[in-house]
Amino acid sequence: MSETIWKCPVCGGALQAEGLSLQCEKRHNFDRAKKGAVYLLPSHQKHSDIPGDNPEMVRARREFLGKGYYAHLRDTICDALRPVLQSGSVLLDAGCGEGYYTKGIHEMAQNSEIYGVDISKTAANLAAKADPTGHYAVASVFHLPVLDASCDAVVSIFAPYCGEEFQRVLKPDGIFVMAIPAARHLWELKAAVYDCPYENAVKDYALEEFQFLEKREAKREIDLTSTGDIQSLFGMTPYAYRTGAKERERLASLETLHVRTEFEVLIYRKENAHGI
Ligand SMILES: [Zn+2]
């Protein structure tokens, strides 16, 4: 039996790992698929048959990220976490997707315990297969199956934000790292597709639950040389949901694209309960 930070979604007790299953003191049992993620999503938190990103989108993202186009963002996130993650430290990637960044963090901090959750079963299973010594679960970031004050760091990379939950699972003085697109991220892609492209709104960095420490930038221009990569990149953006036929046609006709990718990596500390 080995201890984990997973929390039983039925009774809230700590889950211990044994072989391919996890069990709490009350003997609620959760099996892990071979080389896969453990399923900790209760049915009432599942709002559709296939929650989260659909399998096709997940696979397109895996293929695109696997080519290293966003390696600069991964490296910037790793640099931010390097001083935080010591031997035995615990990190949670809340909304880890197919695990590109999670695996990168684990390769940088090999002696840390790395956890990831995603509500998409396809994504969480791909993440688990790519990082066999990491811990991955199918779960919601709004109801993390994670014990209170168990994490040294939480990261949220283009994933839904739930400050209350992130604060709950962090240890006192825990670090929260969030990646967001900068104002002109993918500008050339938007300019090629839309009549009136607009900049991303960059919000105030202040978060109620955390103390803002630092912002780092990750910028790089990339060259896409296939329609498939261009389509994959577009499919990863929020714009993919609100694009009409004319724009889709323009997108499909693009064979090459030189495009800037600009991210901001924001680093926070958990506010001390006494506000010190
Ligand atoms: Zn239980």
Q: Is residue 275 part of a domain?
A: no
How many whole angstroms from 27 Cα to the centroid of ligand 1?
6
- DSSP helix, strand, coil percent of the chain (3-state; round to 5): 30, 30, 40
Q: Is the pLDDT of residue 275 over 70?
A: no
Q: Is the pLDDT of residue 40 over 50?
A: yes
How many whole angstroms from 116 Cα to the centroid of ligand 1?
20
Model pLDDT for residues 262-271, shown as the tens digit of each residue: 999 999 999 7
Q: Is residue 58 part of a domain?
A: yes
Helix, strand or coil for residue 136? strand
Who wins on pLDDT, 112 or 60? 112
Range of the domain at 21: 2-270
Helix, strand or coil for residue 15? strand
**In contact, 128 and 103? CB cutoff 8 Å:** no
How many whole angstroms from 16 Cα to the centroid of ligand 1?
11
* Per-residue pLDDT band at 276 (split at 50, 70, 90): very low
Q: Is residue 161 part of a domain?
A: yes
Mean of the pLDDT values across residues 244-266?
93
Structurally, the chain folds into a number of domains equal to 1
Q: Is residue 30 part of a domain?
A: yes
* Per-residue pLDDT band at 203 (split at 50, 70, 90): confident
Q: Is residue 276 part of a domain?
A: no
The H-assigned helical ranges of 69-193 are 71-81, 100-108, 121-130, 163-169, 187-193
Mean of the pLDDT values across residues 27-33?
90
How many whole angstroms from 96 Cα to the centroid of ligand 1?
24
**What percent of the chain is modeled with pLDDT above 90?**
74
How many whole angstroms from 14 Cα to the centroid of ligand 1?
8
Q: Is residue 152 part of a domain?
A: yes
Q: Is the pLDDT of residue 241 over 80?
A: no
Q: Is residue 220 part of a domain?
A: yes
How many whole angstroms from 143 Cα to the centroid of ligand 1?
15
Mean of the pLDDT values across residues 140-150?
97
CA distance linking residue 32 with residue 5, whole number of Å: 15
Structure tokens at 66: 């696997």
Helix, strand or coil for residue 83? coil
Q: Is the pLDDT of residue 47 over 70?
A: no
Q: Is residue 241 part of a domain?
A: yes
Q: Is the pLDDT of residue 35 over 80?
A: no
Helix, strand or coil for residue 217? strand
Q: Is the pLDDT of residue 202 over 90?
A: no
Q: Residues near 8 by Cβ (< 8 Å), separated by ≥ 6?
A: 14, 15, 24, 26, 28, 30, 145
Mean of the pLDDT values across residues 160-188?
95
Q: What is the side-by-side order of every strand in the sheet holding 21-23?
A: 2-7, 14-18, 21-23, 29-31
For residue 265, what is the domain's CATH number? 3.40.50.150
Residue 249 has phi, psi (to 5 degrees) of -65, -45
**What percent of the chain is modeled with pLDDT above 70?**
98
